[in-house]
Amino acid sequence: MDGGEIRMVTKRKGRKKRHSQPADLLNEMGETVAETPDTSPAEDAGDQANDAHQVGEAVAGYELASEFSGESVADTAARRGPSGHLDHCPSGVRVPVPAISSHLIEGFGPDSLDPYGGRPGDMVGASDRKGLRAKVRTLCPPVPGIYGMFDRHGELIYVGKSRSLRHRLLSYFGEAARKEKGGRIIENSRAIQWETQPSDFAAQLRELQLIRRWTPRFNVQGVPHRHRPVYLCLGRKPAETFFLASSPPATDCVAIEGPFYGAERMRSVVDALNKTFQLRDCSQQTVFQYQDQLSLFELSPRPGCLRLEIGTCLGPCAAACSRDEYVQRVNAAQSFLDGFNDEPLVAVRELMESASANQQYELASRARDTLKSLQYASRKLGHLADARRDFSFVYAATGYDACSIWYLVRSGEIIDVVSAPKDRDQYQLLRPTLKKWQSLLGSRHQRVRVDQPHSVAVVASWFRKHRGELKQTFQPEGAGRRYHRLSHHRADAL
């Protein structure tokens, strides 16, 4: 990175950033960046010119970092030894990442599905594509995990997962990726951070968690609309309605399902569902009043649209129904989301056949398109319903690093996790938790609020693609047999 590039970047240091950059964290940048491995004396003698270039690049990088941290170049130089390395560094040249944001230094944030309290991770940064690739090849392990790409301003621009972090990250630097989305991501990246996970399953759950938390722009921008995930939601009080969301809303929802793909197709699904179940589709700014709702004044509310007159809405905006009547339709709609109600498909199919018989071909064509969309949603909801019906157990996910995790899956949702016991004492400490789990699975038909909602899509997809993993499941009351079997397996391996 030359001086011109440094000046160009530092001029933008006042740009508003999504995440804060505390000066005390940035001043410790030298202790948080990844180091390159030592070279042998022979390699040092043969590569003096290359080493000098690396040190020069490091100095330029630290000058840039100093601009953001408030530390002067002189102060930074004082912390270096004669070779130009930081005196903190036990070995090697550490190249800092320009304008690192606080969450890059601190990691991706807490993981409610990690019972071990923190996963190994690292980050690397460089001023060019070649330097970044060299560090990934040297430092990134070939194990499951998640990774994040950061631009020169410290913004998290992309989150991904892989069963082999090194292989996946190196694929971004290949010639084949240059014209693809991966090439655009890496061209905008100045730092890569990764976090290992004990299994591919854990990596998928962590990726979902981070995308929901940070919503990186490259996880959305550049993705064709037909490939963008949307969630089918039922909520928004005081008169619930079906609507779409790009990410699951945190509150005010009776039910959320997905992800689905194809926003245009799903909009027709939402329209059909609201009409079939006679739910409103108007703005939240609309004033709603039910028949049984007391009013200080004698008012004659007027409907805001024609749907009340044609019978496709109960009319909560015009006091045309009671709250109980509306809730009954909401409950019927929720049963469709649970996969137990095919009322919308029957209604649209009858409309299509009736329109065709009456030679109303345009209406029949629209009904046919709507039916196709509903059938897609119904198939997807059916997979989720199967998971809710069949997947209530403890899943023992084996970790490559002996950090195995027991997941409590209840009606397809992950509601609790513990670290798999490694000895008799750990198992004894776990027994009260297992009793609690047994009670929770006994009442699995009652929905509970969990820290990781909407994990049912990941769970359903995982066991559909990895049927053999069902052998790793058991009921809480069978945990003792599972523990003893695993103990004998470990003993035999030793």
Each residue's pLDDT tens digit, 404-435: 999 999 989 999 999 999 888 999 999 999 99
Range in 102-106, 156-160, 248-252, 451-455 the model is least confident about: 102-106
Q: Which residue among 331, 364, 388 closes a domain?
A: 388
The answer on 181 and 296 residing in a single domain is no
The answer on 29 and 111 residing in a single domain is no
Range in 181-190, 256-265, 365-374 the model is least confident about: 256-265
The two three-digit tokens of residue 459, written as one number: 């769970």
CA distance 25 to 415: 35
Contacts of 475 (CB under 8 A, 6+ apart): 393, 394, 438, 441
Please answer whether residues 227 and 261 qualify as being in contact, where contact means their C-beta atoms are separated by less than 8 angstroms.
yes
- Residue 461 belongs to a domain: yes
| Model confidence pLDDT, tens digit, residues 15-27 | 333 433 332 322 3
User: Is residue 357's pLDDT more than 90?
Assistant: yes
Domain that holds residue 209: 107-219
Range in 31-40, 179-188, 258-267, 326-335 the model is least confident about: 31-40
CA angle at 174 for the pair 171 and 178, rounded to the nearest 5°: 110
| Model confidence pLDDT, tens digit, residues 191-238 | 999 999 999 999 999 998 898 888 888 887 656 666 678 889 999 999
The answer on 244 and 367 residing in a single domain is yes
DSSP conformational letter for 122 = E
The two three-digit tokens of residue 145, written as one number: 């995990």
The answer on 277 and 152 residing in a single domain is no
* Long-range pairs, 130-135, Cβ under 8 A, ≥24: 131/57, 131/95, 132/173, 132/186, 132/189, 132/190, 132/192, 133/170, 133/173, 135/34, 135/36, 135/95
With the CA atoms of 354, 357, 361 and 367 taken in that order, what torsion angle do they form, in degrees rounded to the nearest 10?
Answer: 20
Please answer whether residues 427 and 483 qualify as being in contact, where contact means their C-beta atoms are separated by less than 8 angstroms.
yes
- Residue 475 belongs to a domain: yes
Residue 165 burial class via C-beta count within 10 angstroms: exposed 0-12, middle 13-18, buried 19 and up: buried
Q: What is the CATH number of the domain that holds 179?
A: 3.40.1440.10
Longest dimension (CA), the chain: 94
Closest CA to 374 of 393, 357, 350, 396: 350
Q: Which residue among 196, 219, 242 closes a domain?
A: 219
pLDDT of res. 251: 76
Strands 156-162 and 253-261: unpaired
Q: What is the rounded average pLDDT of the residues 180-185?
A: 88
The answer on 395 and 383 residing in a single domain is no
Contacts of 94 (CB under 8 A, 6+ apart): 30, 33, 34, 35, 36, 58, 85, 86
Please answer whether residues 208 and 148 qualify as being in contact, where contact means their C-beta atoms are separated by less than 8 angstroms.
no
**What is the pTM (predicted TM-score) of this model?**
0.69
The two three-digit tokens of residue 46, written as one number: 């043969």
pLDDT of res. 79: 33
The two three-digit tokens of residue 391, written as one number: 């997947």
Count the domains in the chain.
4
The answer on 210 and 129 residing in a single domain is yes
